[in-house]
Structure 1
Amino acid sequence: RKMISIAPGERLPRHRLIRNMIDLGEFDKAETEIRIFDKDFKSDSAIMRYKVSLLTARAVNTPGIMTEDRITILREAEKVAIIALQRYPDHKYILSSYCSLGLELYRKSKDITVFDDAITRLKQAEERTSDPEISKLILKFERIITGQLGSEE
């Protein structure tokens, strides 16, 4: 917050503040900071990703809410992720957040379609960009989902 007060026109300190708030579970504060960022700068790829991450974290970590409510929040995150991917189709961090969202939706509802869409988009981005980090993300998420599916047998 001190860095933001010194350099209010800089985006990076605000990105870090929002990410730290999400990591610390301060979801309401993170949401407020995202709204302020949108008003001051207009959403960029990092903010779009944080919106998805915030909703996903809120669905997973908020105590005392019903599974149906968690799924509803995750579906809202899915809508935000789709909008983000329309703007930034090859953005590996948005794609990674979308895959994480798909995993959580699968864990809560046994619906694999979002995860499948996310992996498909990740593979398409890999073909278009040849980014080795995207290849690593694909392997990571495929291993995770294989472990999830294997544990049900």
Structure 2
Amino acid sequence: MADLDGRIGGITAGYDLHADWNGERLHGRIGGTFNGKDIDLKLRGGEVSGRIGGHIGGFDADGEVSESHVQVRLGGRIGGDDVRLDVSGAQVRGRFSGRLDGKDLDLHLDGDRLRGRIGGTFQGKDVNLRIGDVPLPLAALAAACAYKALEDMQDAQNDGD
């Protein structure tokens, strides 16, 4: 098994991401033991499906992942987000959520490290992941899933203030 291991966000406002890859399934944890979500993505023949989090408070992932692109829906039809990414060599660029309210995703592979940013300069989150043998497009999707989990958690905390 190869590991996907690193962090999305900063030291205090971020989530760790640890997952094992067996060539078909990426399974692990976003965040900590108590304040986090499981990640379980299956990739078969260019189709990806899975779940981030539990039955309550989680979201589905469903779509396409290839060497050149990612087109996945995270969550439901109404409250979900689209992830559309182009993969070119060691670069992954695209959009998370929508054209108007969405966030840019700009990542690059440096050795076995996937680095970059999801979101803008001020409200975005840094990405720093060791991807091992995990395919680059799937690792970028996992980063987007961790970003969504972190944003959802921060939005829930802000609603409670």
TM-score range, shorter chain: under 0.3
Report the structure, 1 or 2, having the larger strand content.
2
Tell me the TM-score normalised to structure 1 length: 0.24
User: Which has the bigger relative contact order, CA under 8 A and spacing at least 6?
Assistant: 2
Please say which structure displays the higher CA radius of gyration. Answer: 1
Q: TM-score, normalised by structure 2?
A: 0.23
Structure with greater helix percent: 1
